[in-house]
């Protein structure tokens, strides 16, 4: 059942949380219109610039200066020699391009990343073909042809945060990007948010209906903090490897040259081998 239709869920949209108070018996949230909401517990899932995190942790996000452009290209516009039924990546100094089929090959997702020359602020807006092209003048012709295909682009200036050892206190915790915003290099932000949600459910279940949210939240954090911190740090490192230049580029190439797909898969087992059955182990 969706949240909208659940009888015991009250949804408030167009609401911007401004202030959070947590005490022994409950939590209170105040929005920018001055409305107050009281409850037994608080799960802050308010994204990269989380207001709840400001209260619970008090750190700031770290703008990476890396910009992502994304577009969808219809199959007929995709160069025939690149209509691969696979995720493909082209890497270069300070940049990379990814493409893969969507909807059974009717469309292709095109995602490109570069290190911006500008001072960036975290956020998303419409992109411009001129800007994206200006960062790829020196790459080889085959992937560069792709850049002329989209009719519109979306542009994200990305950010993450340094991992922390604790996300919450008392009857409050964080989930998803609020807890562990990460760069997109491992494509794991939403995946980790889903793992969080499942683990949180299991941690609450483990309290056998006692209503001890503080205990459930500490158990949830204990099981999630290290794993998600590993993903945050690995995503940064993956960006560095993709965008390597000079001697780092040569080291990357020598590390990966001749490596079998099986060895690549084995190296990712820690990431993709997660199951709910072991989430509280």
Ligand X SMILES: Cc1cc2nc3c(=O)[nH]c(=O)nc-3n(C[C@H](O)[C@H](O)[C@H](O)COP(=O)(O)OP(=O)(O)OC[C@H]3O[C@@H](n4cnc5c(N)ncnc54)[C@H](O)[C@@H]3O)c2cc1C
Residues that bind ligand X (CB under 6 A): 15-17, 45-47, 51, 68, 156, 158, 176-178, 184, 187-191, 193
Find, among 148, 132, 134, the residue nearest to 78 by Cα: 148
Complete DSSP assignment for the chain:
--GGG-TT-----S--EEEEEE-SS-EEEEETTS-EEEES-EEE---TT-HHHHHHT----EEEEEEEEEEEEEGGGS-GGG--SS-EEEEETTEEEEEEEEGGGTEEEEEEEEE-SS---SEEEE--HHHHHHT-TTS-HHHHGGGGS-S--EEEEEEE----S---BTTEEE-GGGT----GGGS-HHHHHHHHHHHHHHHHHTTTT---HHHHHHHHHHHHHHHHHHHHHHHHHHHHHHT--HHHHHHHHHHHTT--HHHHHHHTHHHHT--GGGTT-
Choose between 198 and 255: whose C-beta lies nearer to ligand X: 198
| Residues recorded for the chain | 281
| Least distance in angstroms from the C-beta of 111 to ligand X | 7
Cα distance from N-terminal residue to C-terminal residue, the chain: 28
Strand partners, 169: 172
Q: Is 185 a catalytic residue?
A: no
Choose between 64 and 171: whose C-beta lies nearer to ligand X: 64
Count CB-CB contacts under 10 A for residue 243: 21
Choose between 101 and 176: whose C-beta lies nearer to ligand X: 176
Choose between 12 and 208: whose C-beta lies nearer to ligand X: 12
| Least distance in angstroms from the C-beta of 157 to ligand X | 9
Active site residues: 100
């Amino acid at each position: 059942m969706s949240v909208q239709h659940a009888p015991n869920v009250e949804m408030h949209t167009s609401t911007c949380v401004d202030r959070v108070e947590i005490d022994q018996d409950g939590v209170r949230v105040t929005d920018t219109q001055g409305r107050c909401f009281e409850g037994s517990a608080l799960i802050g899932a308010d994204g990269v610039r989380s207001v709840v995190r400001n209260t619970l942790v008090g750190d700031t996000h770290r703008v990476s200066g890396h910009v992502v452009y994304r577009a969808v290209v219809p199959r007929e516009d995709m160069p025939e020699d690149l209509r691969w039924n696979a995720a493909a990546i082209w890497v270069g100094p300070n940049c990379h391009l990814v493409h893969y089929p969507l909807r059974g090959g009717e469309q292709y997702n095109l995602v490109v990343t570069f290190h911006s020359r500008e001072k960036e602020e975290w956020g998303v807006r419409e992109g411009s073909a001129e800007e994206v092209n200006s960062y790829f003048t020196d790459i080889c012709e085959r992937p560069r042809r792709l850049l002329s295909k989209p009719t519109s682009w979306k542009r994200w200036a990305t950010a993450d945060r340094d991992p922390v050892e604790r996300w919450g206190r008392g009857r409050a915790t964080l989930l998803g990007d609020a807890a562990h915003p990460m760069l997109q290099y491992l494509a794991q932000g939403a995946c980790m948010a889903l793992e969080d949600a499942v683990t949180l459910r299991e941690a609450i279940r483990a309290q056998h209906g006692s209503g001890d949210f503080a205990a459930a939240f500490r158990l949830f954090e204990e099981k999630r903090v290290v794993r998600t911190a590993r993903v945050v740090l690995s995503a940064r490192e993956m960006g560095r490897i993709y965008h390597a230049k000079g001697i780092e580029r040569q080291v990357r190439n020598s590390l990966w040259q001749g490596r079998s797909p099986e060895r690549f898969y084995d190296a990712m087992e820690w990431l993709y081998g997660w199951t709910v059955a072991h989430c509280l182990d």
